[in-house]
């Protein structure tokens, strides 16, 4: 991939290459806030190391808004997170619900009921996945979907192999993903839950706009494959090439040749 060259990606993909992760966070936060100032559909949110500085930048931008505008954002906020671990209570500090409470709900002063996630403690995770997918559909589907990129090409927790028609469901996490996420569990992959509920590629690809955010040299190889290889179930993120409104925002390290 030529550095930041639009010609090296699908014509439907808008690549934005910025100097560093901090610049990426600021650009993404600006896009999220613009979406919430003129909301049409719910916002699709993600968690992970890439997203933490994004939510920090979003909180700073909210703090600088005029009071009336900030109130409007809070009063009209509606978001659905991509996923949640099975077996973790919302109060568990390692749950995505707790992560969103720390990184988004409290800093922005949001009503927690407006920031929705799957119920990781549901007695029947498969039934909860169906309920959550139906809730997204009933809300009109996702407007702007925020995505990170897993080192094995997963988006949300859509592990390989995943085809583009898979809907919200309960999945078994790969050993690769559990190792990647071990940092949130004291560095112990064995402590990472074995299952999660995730929105499927069907919901992700149905979003009006998709924003794929990638930072760090360790993601360069998988980002290049995501954008250049023929879409396949073995590389779930590659299905994003078919989306008509995909923007990739990456730092220079992630967009290396």
pTM of the model: 0.94
For residues 139 and 115, the answer to whether their CB atoms sit within 8 Å is: no
Rounded mean pLDDT, 229-251: 97
Residue 154: name the closest of 130, 178, 127, 119 by CA: 178
User: Which two tokens mark 163?
Assistant: 């085809």
Quickly count: other Cβ atoms within 10 Å of residue 140's Cβ. Answer: 12
- Catalytic residues, by residue number, are 83, 152, 154, 159
Give the bridge partners for 248, in sequence order.
Answer: 15, 212
Give the bridge partners for 83, in sequence order.
Answer: 198
Averaged pLDDT of the chain: 95
Predicted confidence (pLDDT) per residue in 77-131, tens digit: 999 999 999 999 999 999 999 999 999 999 999 999 999 999 999 999 999 999 9
Domains along the chain with CATH numbers? 14-251 (3.40.50.1360)
How many residues belong to the chain?
257
């Amino acid at each position: 991939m030529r550095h930041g060259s639009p010609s090296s990606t699908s014509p439907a993909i808008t690549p934005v290459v910025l100097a560093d992760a901090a610049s990426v966070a600021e650009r993404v936060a600006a896009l999220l806030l613009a979406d919430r100032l003129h909301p049409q559909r719910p916002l699709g949110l993600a968690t992970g190391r890439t997203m933490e500085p994004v939510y920090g930048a979003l909180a700073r931008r909210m703090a600088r808004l005029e009071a009336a505008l900030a109130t409007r954002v809070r009063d009209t906020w509606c978001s659905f997170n991509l996923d949640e671990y099975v077996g973790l209570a919302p109060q568990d500090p390692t749950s995505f619900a707790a992560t969103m409470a720390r990184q988004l709900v409290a800093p922005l002063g949001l009503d927690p009921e407006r920031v929705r996630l799957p119920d990781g403690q549901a007695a029947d995770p498969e039934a909860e996945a169906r309920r959550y997918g139906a809730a997204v559909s009933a809300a009109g589907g996702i407007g702007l979907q925020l995505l990170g990129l897993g080192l094995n090409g997963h988006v949300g927790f859509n592990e390989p192999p995943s085809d583009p028609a898979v809907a919200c469901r309960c999945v078994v996490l790969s050993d690769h993903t559990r190792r990647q996420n071990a940092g949130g569990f004291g560095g112990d992959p064995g402590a990472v839950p074995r299952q999660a509920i995730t929105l499927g590629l069907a919901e992700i690809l149905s979003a009006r706009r998709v924003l794929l955010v990638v930072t760090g040299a360790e993601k360069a190889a998988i980002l290049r494959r995501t954008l250049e290889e023929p879409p396949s179930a073995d590389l779930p993120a590659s299905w994003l090439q078919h989306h008509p409104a995909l923007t990739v925002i990456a730092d220079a390290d992630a967009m290396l040749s």
